Structure 1
Amino acid sequence: MTVQTDDGVRLWASASGRGEPLVLCHGGPGLWDMFEDVAALLGDLATTVRWDQRGCGRSERCAGPWTTDRFVADLEAVRGHFGLERTALLGHSWGAQLALAHALAHPERVSALVYVAGTGIGPVADWHPAYAGNLRARIGEVPERLARWRDLTRRPQRTDEEDRERAVLQWSAEFMDRESAQEQAERMAEPWFGINDECNKVLNLELSRTMGAPELYAACRSLEVPVLIVDGAGDIRPRSAVDSLERALPRVRRVILPGAGHLPWAEDPKGFREAVASALG
């Protein structure tokens, strides 16, 4: 299904399941929807709407613009296309930041927010160095994989195959179960649509400037939308980063899944489903 934005960009989208609407916002930036398992897991609880963000995955390749405000407007286009007056939002990682930004901009259109594996609203510098160290340590459990990842990362140009190989090596660090981590990362890369590096770079630069701003804290303190924060205890991004958001929100609950990493639905589907069901009421 194609959704057209107000500036004419075509976005891929899909709806499935039954029940109240739940729009899913994938991570990245620069990636694509990997929520097929989540849609199946929640299919009897909600009508899930999946979409690929602009310039990414199955959506039209375009020149941006790569700003949070633009992506919030795109999310509004998805909501409008499906005729949803109000909807719950579930965002993962960067998608959690996007879903939060949409709730702050359009609180009257959001019934609930499920904020999964995000990094809070404090400065990026508060958590990113620890994340980078944890990433290297996880990949380095197999030294030759760390050497290969470093080699691929340093290359000024990579083939599409090399991009996929590097991504799988990096994504393998996202799982708490180390025995299945490589297999799980391979699943994330199938099908492979290619990472939009420009989108990733520009949006991450924007986040580095805007996270920690006093006006962001003030906006979160005024948000009356109910929020559920879902964390995997084994996420390599320090979970303390999310404390800034939890402290600011007036209507918030938090669930930490002890046996999961950055993609908690993959490692604790039962716990994840129960948490989301509680948010959907």
Structure 2
Amino acid sequence: MERIEANGISISFKRSGEGPPLVLLHGAEADHAMFDAFAARLAPHFTVIAYDQRDSGATRNPAGRCGLGELADDLSALIAALGFERAHVFGTSFGGAIAQVAAVRHSARIDRLVLASTFRVGVSVASINPDGFPRFAELRAKLPESLPAFAEYFFPPSYIASQPQALGIFTGNKRDAGQRERRGAVLAQPIAISLADIKAPTLVLAGREDRLIPPAHTLSLAREIAAARTAVIDGVGHVGTIQDPAAVAGQVIAFLKSKTPKDIVEENDHGGIQGGSGLSL
């Protein structure tokens, strides 16, 4: 692990690989370690930065409450502090909400954007999943006794049965009471953005078996983002980067290395490749 000071906090992060920078934003219950297997698949192609957000992992920050805006500012400051002008950004679940805000507030820092198994900023998570979320909240309040049922919102039961060590994402959480309270209050802080203001080429990615954030809701984000692409991974639940890191990495690598309409225009302007890209947008 490395550490760097940015935006008034001490950010802990893990760096691997080489190539264009790609920053990974973890979910609400996790820290950078949720990306260990995923980052290993990406490292042959990118300089991968997996960092701990405020009140997560080994990052150290003031005890005051913050919202998605401050977390997006942290991301932008981290990219700059690491010496990069801009970076690709992958955000999953809660991390995807941070990434949406960063792509609007700090567009100059975002190269390409991947939003995975996430929800639209400004929409109540309870309203997204009105049938499942009350039960999810009830189980969360009863952890660790409720862990087996709680985990099924993140992973299909068959995966939990074959890979029980995956539950370490929940049992390994070392947040104290203050950190848990502040993390739980982030989404209550008011913020409004227009996804139409996202200019970065964007991939919206969902697991077909996601019980926490319905895939249809995640994919609906693409309708508000110009020329966004979508992909669905069969058999995968909410935490695809752990359940099937190879499949998620395959989608991410293909997207980040593909040509976009903007690339084609720039190549044409410089006397490069002529004609259409052949991409499905």
Q: TM bucket by the smaller chain?
A: 0.7 to 0.9
Indicate whether 1:13 and 2:13 are aligned. Answer: yes
Correspondence 1:75-154 to 2 at 5 A? 75-121=75-121, 123-124=123-124, 125-132=126-133, 135=136, 150=139, 153=141
Is residue 207–residue 235 contact of structure 2 (8 Å, CA) maintained in 1?
yes
CA distance in 2, matches of 1:84, 1:166: 43
What is aligned with 1:146? Answer: none
Aligned to 1:255: 231
2:256 paired with 1:280:
yes
What is the deviation of 1:239? Answer: 1.7
The residue identity in structure 1 corresponding to 2:198 is L
CA distance in 2, matches of 1:105, 1:67: 13
**Residue type at the aligned position of 1:37:** A
The one of 195, 201, 204 aligned to 1:226: 201
1:91/1:99 contact within 8 Å kept? yes
8 Å Cα contact 1:119/1:239 also seen in 2:
no
Tell me, in whole angstroms, the C-alpha distance in 1 between the residues paired with 2:186 and 2:225: 24
Q: Cα deviation per residue 1:23-60 (whole Å; 9 max; x = unaligned)?
A: 011110x6422211111121112110011112221111
In structure 2, the CA distance between the partners of 1:6 and 1:14, relative to structure 1 (3 Å rule), is same
Q: 2:6·2:81 contact (CA, 8 Å) conserved in 1?
A: no
Aligned residue in 1 for 2:31: 32
* C-alpha RMSD of the superposition: 2.5
| Matched residue, 1:141 | none
Instruction: Tell me the CA shift for residue 73 of structure 1.
Output: 1.6
| Shift of residue 2, structure 1, vs aligned partner | 1.4
Q: 2-side partners of 1:60 and 1:276: how far apart? A: 30
Classify 1:55/1:179 alpha carbon distance in 2 versus 1 (closer, same or farther; 3 Å): closer
Verify: 1:198 aligned to 2:181, yes or no.
yes
- Aligned residue for 1:173, secondary structure, equals coil
Q: CA deviation at 1:16?
A: 0.6
The answer to whether the Cα contact below 8 Å between 1:5 and 1:77 also exists between their aligned partners in 2 is: yes
TM-score w.r.t. structure 1 length? 0.79
Change in CA separation of 1:2 and 1:53 when aligned onto 2, cut-off 3 Å: same
Contact 2:35 2:241 in 1 (8 A): no
Q: Which position in structure 1 is the counterpart of 2:169? A: 188
Aligned amino acid, residue 80 of structure 2: G
Moved more, 225-234 or 191-200: 191-200
Contact 2:207-2:237 within 8 A present in 1 as well: yes
Residue matched to 1:159: none
Structure 1 residue runs without a partner (length 5+): 137-148, 155-162
1-side partners of 2:145 and 2:62: how far apart?
25
Q: Bigger CA drift: 35-44 or 171-180?
A: 171-180
CA distance in 1, matches of 2:47, 2:144: 31
2:167 counterpart letter in structure 1: E
Measure, in 2, the Cα distance between the counterparts of 1:274 and 1:6. Answer: 33
The aligned amino acid for 1:178 is S
Counterpart CA distance in 2 for 1:113 and 1:265 is 16
Shift, 1:176, TM fit: 1.9
Partner of 1:57 in structure 2? Answer: 57
Task: Flag structure 2 segments of 5+ consecutive residues without an equivalent.
Answer: 258-281
Closer, same or farther: CA 121–75 of 1 in aligned 2, 3 Å: closer
Given that 2:16 and 2:49 are in contact with CA atoms closer than 8 Å, whether structure 1 keeps it comes out as yes
- 2:216 matched residue in structure 1: 240
